[in-house]
Each structure stands twice: as structure tokens, then as C-alpha cells.
């Protein structure tokens, strides 16, 4: 993969993580939004963050979202600054898209741009029948991202505190 970039959009590169991303990954994991909406992505220390980065890097070999997470960094094209992540993982026997953008870059459409491009690519290149966005009902901003990226609210399954969106 050329320069470890998997996909580009108008303003973003979606790329493989590198060990040198440790400081930024740890810093983003400390943000309030991560702690609230993605608590499993909050790291207590840099050692824990390094273990996760190593796991994600190792997952790039023969990846399959039905077997292990596949997560990429979201970086700005203009300066190659890492501003978030996007990936696929198995949740409740469904392939789910997950994403986060650093607080200071939220509200600029970066998450929507990344989710739309990544979901289209993943559905085509990974031959996925469906990709789901699973959102806590109170996470209105994330639900808006999914809708703008082409996901439609599907019939709720199981847990009533979450909405399930399907990429179409």
C-alpha cells in the first residue's frame, strides 16, 4: 500500500497506524467524548495505548473485519496531522463501523467524509453485504454523521438504548 494510505477523500487520508502515532493516540484517548461514547478506547497510560497500536498494526496482515478489528488513522491531507480513527469490527455478530475525530476538529464534516468514503470502500473491497453503525440514542452527533454518510436507521435490535443504522 503506497505510503500506507488506504484511501483518500477531498480533505482526508485514511491510513495505516504507525508506532509513531502513540503520543497522539494517547492524547485523543483522554478526551471527554472518547471517555463518554467509546470508553474502551480510553487508555490509562501510554503503555496501554502502545499495546493497542501494536495490536492494530499486527491486524493489518490478512485482515478480516469478521475476525479482528481493522482500524485506520484519519489524517488531514493538508498537513498529515492525525485527527482521529475509523474502522470495522464485529459487534453483536454485525460488522460495525466505528469512528472518532479529535474534539477540536469536530463539526467540520471530517467524520462524515471519512465514514462515507471508508464505508463505500469497505463494502466494495471487502465484499461486505452490510455495514452497521451502532449508536447510543443520546449520541445525536454520531447519528447525524451516519445519516449524512448514507446510513439509514434500521429496526432496533436487542438493546433498546442503541440505534442501528445500515449503510446503503
Query: CATH number for the domain including 11?
Result: 3.40.630.30
| CA 7 from centroid of its chain's CA atoms | 13
pLDDT for residue 151 is more than 90: yes
Encode pLDDT of 126-148 as tens digits: 888 899 999 998 999 999 999 99
The answer, yes or no, to whether residue 157 has pLDDT greater than 60, is no
- Find the domain containing 28 and state its range: 2-167
* The predicted structure's pLDDT at residue 3: 52
Q: How many domains does the chain have?
A: 1
**Average of per-residue pLDDT across 111-126:** 95
Nearest to 43 by CA among 28, 33, 59, 55: 28
Across 81-100, average pLDDT: 94
Global confidence as pTM: 0.91
Amino acid at each position: 500500500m503506497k505510503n500506507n494510505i488506504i484511501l483518500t477523500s477531498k480533505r482526508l487520508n485514511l491510513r495505516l497506524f504507525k508506532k509513531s502515532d502513540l503520543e497522539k493516540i494517547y492524547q485523543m484517548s483522554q478526551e471527554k467524548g472518547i471517555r463518554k461514547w467509546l470508553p474502551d478506547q480510553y487508555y490509562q497510560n501510554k503503555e496501554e495505548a502502545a499495546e493497542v497500536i501494536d495490536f492494530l498494526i499486527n491486524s493489518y496482515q490478512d485482515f478480516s473485519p469478521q475476525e479482528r478489528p481493522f482500524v485506520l488513522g484519519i489524517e488531514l491531507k493538508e498537513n498529515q496531522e492525525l485527527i482521529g480513527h475509523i474502522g470495522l469490527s464485529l459487534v453483536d455478530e454485525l460488522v460495525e463501523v466505528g469512528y472518532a475525530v479529535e474534539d477540536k476538529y469536530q463539526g467540520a464534516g471530517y467524520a462524515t467524509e471519512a465514514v462515507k468514503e471508508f464505508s463505500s470502500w469497505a463494502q466494495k473491497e471487502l465484499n461486505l453485504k452490510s455495514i452497521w453503525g451502532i449508536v447510543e440514542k443520546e449520541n445525536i452527533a454520531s447519528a447525524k454523521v451516519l445519516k449524512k454518510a448514507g446510513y439509514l436507521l434500521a429496526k432496533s435490535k436487542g438493546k433498546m438504548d442503541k440505534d442501528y443504522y445500515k449503510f446503503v
